[in-house]
């Protein structure tokens, strides 16, 4: 065993992970170059090494849970990462400070590289309504029911009334728009930057008072009774938070409510996790409550904040189960490396939510405060 192997073995042991061990969360190393790769490229290299079949783990979700709970990333940073890694970190920091990675031109990348990779993939992975955000599992026992419960929760938090006009920023495949129109009698304008989503959303919402637009939120300039944004704020970028809320404020009627549903970080950061940024959500960024609150100053009153981040663990595990079950029908369009990439994405994120390292927040915002106070619906 080399000294580098010994160091990483000792670090892994601190998280109750044994290299080539027998626990389902233990890592099985196929290529000993993994240790050097980790030292040089950190979490990016770790995910890429899995895609390259350099290591395996039967329960990646549990492995990630152990890694995060033991704070292994912090321990690795104290091991004396070499100059190459430090230089890359410095470049990433400089880029985050001086470049708006979510400007209008760059914002389209996540639509093209993530949401446009095939509607059949998402239809096979998601619930029957194709909701690509966290389900609400308070009383639900399966994915379909959890997403129905989440959509109902959103509508009731906004107190939707027949005849109202709702804006859905980041409408996906039209799941919220269709649900709200069918059950609450509202009309909806949904916007997305994904061509594939817009095309299918229009089909899904046919014959309902719903308009689906291929449009960036920065182009909006009209009034709505209420606004919804489910799982889109993660793509806005901290440099654009103030503008995002200002646009929402301008589009919301004075007595309206804005419900924002977003994944959030426990700490304030300026750039996303490297592997997720490169392979899954290009130019993504998880906000902290501090960053959200600062951007809302003098723009919105925060009426309510609801955290059900633990429910994303269950949602992601359900998505992964569907993905694996339907892989035989999907693999004609995707290769084995994609299968490993998608598996790593879903399971590593599940473990991260399980460790409560990231959260899921629903915030209800008003322009000037609800008279008598907002009444929470749960």
For residue 130, give every residue at least 6 positions away whose Cβ sits within 8 Å of its Cβ, in sequence order, or none: 122, 123, 172, 173, 175, 200, 204
Mean pLDDT of 262-288: 91
For 183, how many CA atoms within 13 A lie in the half-sphere containing its CB? 16
In the residue annotation, 171 being an active-site residue is answered as: no
Structure tokens at 260: 């924002």
Identify the active-site residue in 57, 171, 296, 349: 349
Residue 366, pLDDT > 90, answer yes
Q: What is the mean pLDDT of the chain?
A: 90
How would you write 169-227 as a 3-class SS string? ECCCCCHHHHHHHHHHCCEEEEEECCHHHHHHHHHHCCCCCEEEEECCHHHCCCCEEEE
Residue 348: DSSP 8-state: H
Q: What is the pLDDT of residues 101-155, one digit of tens each?
A: 455 554 455 456 677 788 999 999 999 999 999 999 999 999 999 999 999 999 9
The pLDDT score that the predictor gives to residue 378 is 76
The pLDDT score that the predictor gives to residue 113 is 66
What is the band of 82 on the pLDDT scale with cuts at 50, 70, 90?
Answer: very low
Is 27 strand, coil or helix?
coil
For residue 369, give every residue at least 6 positions away whose Cβ sits within 8 Å of its Cβ, in sequence order, or none: 301, 303
């Amino acid at each position: 065993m080399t000294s580098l192997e010994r160091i990483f073995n000792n670090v892994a042991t601190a998280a109750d992970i044994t290299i080539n061990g027998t626990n389902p969360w233990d890592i099985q190393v196929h290529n000993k170059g993994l240790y050097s790769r980790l030292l040089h490229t950190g979490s990016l290299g770790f995910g890429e090494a899995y895609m390259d079949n350099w290591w395996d783990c039967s329960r990646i979700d549990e492995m990630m849970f152990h890694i995060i709970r033991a704070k292994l990333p912090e321990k690795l940073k104290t091991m004396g990462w070499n100059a190459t890694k430090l230089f890359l970190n410095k470049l990433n920091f400089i880029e985050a400070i001086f470049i708006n990675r979510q400007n209008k031109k760059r914002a389209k990348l996540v639509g093209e590289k993530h949401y446009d990779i095939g509607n059949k993939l998402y239809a096979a992975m998601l619930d029957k309504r194709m909701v690509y955000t966290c389900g609400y599992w308070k009383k639900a026992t399966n994915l379909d029911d959890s997403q129905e419960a989440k959509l109902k929760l959103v509508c009731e938090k906004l107190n939707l009334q027949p005849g109202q006009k709702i804006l859905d920023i980041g409408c996906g495949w039209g799941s919220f728009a269709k649900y709200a129109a069918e059950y609450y009698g509202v009309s909806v304008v949904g916007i997305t930057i994904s061509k594939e989503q817009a095309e299918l959303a229009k089909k899904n919402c046919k014959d309902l008072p719903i308009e689906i637009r291929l449009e960036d939120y920065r182009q909006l300039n009209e009034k709505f009774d209420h606004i919804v944004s489910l799982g889109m704020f993660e793509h806005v970028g901290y440099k654009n938070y103030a503008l995002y809320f200002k646009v929402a404020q301008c589009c919301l009627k004075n007595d309206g409510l804005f419900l924002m549903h977003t994944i959030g970080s426990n700490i304030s950061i300026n750039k996303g996790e490297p592997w997720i940024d490169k392979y899954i959500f290009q130019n993504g960024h998880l906000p902290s409550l501090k960053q959200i609150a600062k951007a809302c100053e003098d723009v919105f009153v925060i009426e309510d904040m609801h955290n059900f981040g633990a429910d994303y663990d269950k949602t992601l595990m359900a998505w992964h189960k569907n993905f694996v079950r339907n892989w035989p029908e999907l693999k004609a369009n995707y290769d084995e490396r994609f299968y490993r990439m998608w598996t790593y994405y879903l399971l590593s994120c599940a473990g991260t939510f399980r460790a409560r390292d990231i959260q899921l927040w629903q915030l209800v915002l008003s322009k000037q405060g609800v008279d008598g106070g907002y009444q929470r619906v749960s």
